Amino acid sequence: MSVQSPKPELTRNLLALLSVALLLFMSLWVMRPFLGPLIWATMVVVSTWPMMRAVQARLWGRRGLATSVMVLVLLLLLFVPLSVALSTVVTHADSVVTLFNSLSEAKLPEPPQWLLGLPLVGETLGGLWHRVAVDGVGPIVGMIKPYFGSSLKWVASQAGNLGLIGMQFMMTVAIAAILYLYGESAARGVRGFALRLAGTQGDQVITLAGQAIRGVALGLVVTAMVQSALGGLGLLLVGVPFAGLLTAVMFMACLAQIGVVLVLGPAVAWLYWSGEPTWGTVLLVITTLITLLDNVLRPWLIKKGADLPLLLIFAGVIGGLLAFGLVGLFIGPVVLAVTYTLTLAWIGDQMPKEGQAEAKQS
């Protein structure tokens, strides 16, 4: 009994697939230094594309002039502040260490009467304040010091990377300029690939990905800029030292969905402990207003960019940040949005109508 040899078509198809896979792998390997700036530039261009078209319409339809204006705006409003924030954190690392070490010797006065008079929580807060006033701030500083040391090591490790970060930012701006100039051609290529891969549904996924990117950019980045700017003005108003450094930390904390309370809360406490209850109250009011603004501005901007569940967006932001770093702010929501849409499309008409499940259970 003779054994049949494999069909030539099977061998040829297998070799073709292996060749394509090898080419893709080698292409990604060659493009690896540019992947980060390319992803950032794509996110920025997709988010600001309507703005670029509006600028082009006002500049006699000249794409080159509109691209120049958009690049200048990106440098002034996005990349320069972020670079300054990173350099400020690294530059003032020694000052932060000195200030942190001096806290262990700080002495607190007795709790003020207004704190003891607060309903429900006054006695508890007064007791905690009295305990800290008696024992000193040293135990609290000792509790925080290990985490502070880890954060400081990370900041110190970034000191040598500032030049690399600046070069990546400039590369991102250059790629963004190219995408602004040839955005329609790039979009046609991506949509053509999606259509070839998954038909009409693939084209819808690409459109949804763009909407998700725009929604995240509007909802998170713009909100973080507004919150950190208002918080920095509040710190300058009440005279808190290192206002520029704290503003940079606030901006990064807002991007990471931590909020301004991480910075403004200790600043309020420091003002009260320093014998400035009036300015402490002013900063407390500012902190409350900024926190409430976050709950209104961010959902409105996200919904304006993409009609997706807010829980899906927030899960994508936090999970993407933990998985991919800062660029994960955009990658995470896009991945979840595409997966969510594909799942709904796959379920299709098989989704039970509202009320059917309750009717069956009854």
Q: What does residue 265 show for φ and ψ, rounded to 5 degrees?
A: -60, -55
Inside any domain, residue 255:
yes
Tell me how far CA of residue 135 lies from CA of 138, 255, 328, in angstroms.
8, 36, 43
Report the range out of 148-157, 276-285, 310-319, 344-353 with the highest average pLDDT: 276-285
Q: From CA 316, how far away is CA 336, in angstroms rounded?
A: 6
Lowest mean pLDDT among 97-106, 118-127, 216-225: 97-106
Q: What does residue 272 show for φ and ψ, rounded to 5 degrees?
A: -65, -40
User: What's the whole-number mean pLDDT along residues 244-266?
Assistant: 78
Residue 306 structure tokens: 């993409």
Inside any domain, residue 243:
yes
Q: Which distant-in-sequence residues (6+ apart) come within 8 Å of 187 by Cβ?
A: none
pTM of the model: 0.63
**Which of the four pLDDT bands, split at 50, 70 and 90, describes residue 26?**
very high
- Summarize pLDDT for 139-165 with one digit per residue, the tens: 655 555 555 555 555 555 554 555 666
Inside any domain, residue 156:
no
Return mean pLDDT, the chain.
75
Lowest mean pLDDT among 34-48, 94-108, 242-256, 308-322: 94-108
Structural domain boundaries enclosing 217: 199-346
DSSP sequence for 103-139: HTT----PPPHHHHTSTTTHHHHHHHHHHHHHH-SHH
Say if residue 66's pLDDT is above 70.
Answer: yes
Q: From CA 74, how far away is CA 80, in angstroms rounded?
A: 8
Locate all alpha helices (DSSP H) within the chain, ordered by sequence.
8-58, 63-74, 80-91, 93-103, 113-116, 122-135, 138-157, 162-181, 183-216, 223-238, 243-255, 261-273, 277-305, 310-324, 328-347, 356-361
**Which of the four pLDDT bands, split at 50, 70 and 90, describes residue 178?**
very high
% of residues, the chain, pLDDT over 90:
4
How high is the pLDDT of residue 284? 85
How high is the pLDDT of residue 119? 67
- Structural domain tally of the chain? 1
Q: From CA 64, how far away is CA 35, in angstroms rounded?
A: 25
CA atoms 180, 182, 186, 188: torsion sign: positive
Q: From CA 44, how far away is CA 6, in angstroms rounded?
A: 50
Inside any domain, residue 292:
yes
User: What's the whole-number mean pLDDT along residues 217-223?
Assistant: 77
